[in-house]
Amino acid sequence: MSQKTIVCFGDSNTWGYIPGSACERYPLDTRWPGVMQAALGSDYRVIEEAQNGRTTVWPDPCEPTVSKCGKDHLPVVLESHKPIDLVIVMLGTNDLKNHINQTAQTIAQGAITLVDMILASTAGPDQQAPQVLMVCPVPLHPAQCPFWHLFDGAAEKSLAMPTAYQELAEDRGVAFLNAGDHATCPDTDCIHLDAEGQGSLGKAMADKVQTVLP
């Protein structure tokens, strides 16, 4: 059996941002993609494609030097790593920033736009589309987030995201996982997973992947 390629397309929680740190990163074996790789074994190749601050489809006007828009990056990622068997998309947390001004429903629409781009691509085996696992990010902790008030009031909005994501995943016929069923954000900074959450999510992702790519 040939090795199956999985691309994890995400933001700082896929990158492995340590809560409360000055942009420090968990080691590979602590980050959820690394935990997933260990659980899946050598028949799978897991590729991290993560960027701090990445959104789904909206440019961030407060990030003037580096694009954070997932829609802009995704075509390059697909071209770079093809053939890809599965793309895991876990984005939407940064869309909750107040100045981006989106609802749970429009954030889900942004995420499904990325899914549609993948399904319309030829980045999979035999020039077909890869399979997709659409993941709703973990809800924000309701404590005061320290990131310069960027996420004030966003915790409640994040609670409505899983239903919106799941409805769209079912409409497209792609696999869905709600990360909030397996991990939580601590009150350290309210948006980033701790090491325990990274581990729990990585194991849950591995279990889900084995149902999508048996």
Structure tokens at 127: 């020039």
Are 190 and 145 in contact, with CB atoms under 8 Å apart?
yes
The pLDDT of 179-183, averaged and rounded, is: 98
Average pLDDT, the chain: 96
Residues spanned by the domain of 175: 4-212
- Going by pLDDT thresholds of 50, 70 and 90, the confidence category of residue 148 is confident
- Going by pLDDT thresholds of 50, 70 and 90, the confidence category of residue 37 is very high
In this predicted structure, the answer to whether residue 146 has a pLDDT above a threshold of 90 is no
The CATH number linked to 37 is 3.40.50.1110
The pLDDT of 1-29, averaged and rounded, is: 95
Burial class (CB in 10 A: 0-12, 13-18, 19+), 97: buried
> pTM of this prediction?
0.97
Angle of helix 104-119 relative to helix 70-81, nearest 10 degrees?
Answer: 30
- Going by pLDDT thresholds of 50, 70 and 90, the confidence category of residue 10 is very high
* pLDDT value of position 18: 97
Domain count, the chain: 1
The pLDDT of 67-83, averaged and rounded, is: 98
- Going by pLDDT thresholds of 50, 70 and 90, the confidence category of residue 187 is very high
* Closest by Cα among 47, 46, 49 to 10: 49
Structure tokens at 13: 């929680």
pLDDT tens digits for range 48-70: 999 999 999 999 999 889 999 99
The Cα 199–Cα 79 span in angstroms is 29
At residue 132, the 3 state secondary structure works out as: strand
- Going by pLDDT thresholds of 50, 70 and 90, the confidence category of residue 6 is very high
Structure tokens at 61: 């006007």
Q: According to the 3-state scheme, what is the secondary structure of 97-126?
A: CCCCCCCHHHHHHHHHHHHHHHHCCCCCHH
- Going by pLDDT thresholds of 50, 70 and 90, the confidence category of residue 45 is very high
Structure tokens at 177: 């996982």
Portion of the chain with pLDDT greater than 70, in percent: 100
Are 20 and 188 in contact, with CB atoms under 8 Å apart?
yes
* pLDDT value of position 170: 98
Beta-ladder partners of 8 = 48, 88
* Closest by Cα among 91, 89, 67, 68 to 78: 89
Residue listed under structure tokens 């005061």: 144
DSSP class of 96: G
Higher pLDDT, 9 or 188: 9
* pLDDT value of position 28: 97
* pLDDT value of position 1: 62
Helical spans, DSSP H, in 9-147: 12-15, 32-40, 70-81, 104-119
* pLDDT value of position 144: 81
* Residue 168 phi, psi (nearest 5): -75, -35
